[in-house]
Structure 1
Amino acid sequence: MFNSQKGFTLIEMLIVLMIISVLIILMVPNLSDKSKEVYEKGCNALVNVVQAQVDAYYIEKNSYPVDLEVLETSGYITEEQKKCPNNTELQITNTDGKAIVSIPSGI
């Protein structure tokens, strides 16, 4: 009577685990770089949306809002739209008779 055992040896399993570990070690730093890029793109998209709301406010009221609170109380943006996904607050700068939405410099 032959006892035919099929399966993986301990050495084979350790080699597979080592290969998977190396792949994970190589991928994790790349993912953190990508998440920063995603936050930046999300923040830039939010700036564009809020800028469009500033322009809509101007069309209706014939004046630019002085800050984001005015836009929020007027119903143009929500509380969540005042901050980027990484919790950086947006700001409105009134220059040359136009309101510009931006991210504070130095961040």
Structure 2
Amino acid sequence: MFNNERAFTLIEMLIVMLVISVLLLLIIPNLANQSESVNDKGCEALKEIVQTQAEAYYLDNKEKVNNIQTLVSAGYLKDNQTSCGDTPITIRNGKVNDDS
């Protein structure tokens, strides 16, 4: 009566679940480590943008900027570009300081 019925056995399903679990255990820690690296590179890119805008401000106004809020009020940066995460970006004598 059930001779031609084809289906996965319980053992086959358990083996598939085991393989998927092992792959997840190997992949998830690597993703967490890469997230920190991506955030660090994003912060470095943001500092480069702020430095470029400080130089553009100098070219336009013939004076070096000493405060990042000056760039924001002059329209060179947006409010959300003044810090990287919890670390504020600072400028002294027209140069972005690497305090982090």
TM-score with structure 1 length normalisation?
Answer: 0.84
Q: Distance in 2 between matches of 1:21 and 1:102?
A: 45
Cα distance, 1:27–1:62 mapped onto 2, change above 3 Å: same
Q: After TM superposition, what 4+ stretches of structure 1 lie above 4 angstroms from structure 2?
A: none
After TM superposition, the structure 1 = structure 2 runs for residues 25-44 of structure 1, keeping only pairs within 5 Å, are: 25-44=25-44
After TM superposition, the structure 1 = structure 2 runs for residues 50-69 of structure 1, keeping only pairs within 5 Å, are: 50-69=50-69
The alpha-carbon deviation at position 24 of structure 1 amounts to 0.6
Unaligned stretches of 5+ in structure 1? none
Cα distance, 1:102–1:18 mapped onto 2, change above 3 Å: farther
Matched residue, 1:7: 7
Cα distance, 1:102–1:20 mapped onto 2, change above 3 Å: farther
Q: Does the 8 Å contact 2:82/2:88 carry over to 1?
A: yes
Task: Deviation per CA, 1:73-107: give whole Å up to 9, x if none.
Answer: 010000111122x343211123xxxx2113423xx
Give percent identity, aligned residues only: 43
CA RMSD of aligned residues (A): 1.5
Unaligned stretches of 5+ in structure 2? none
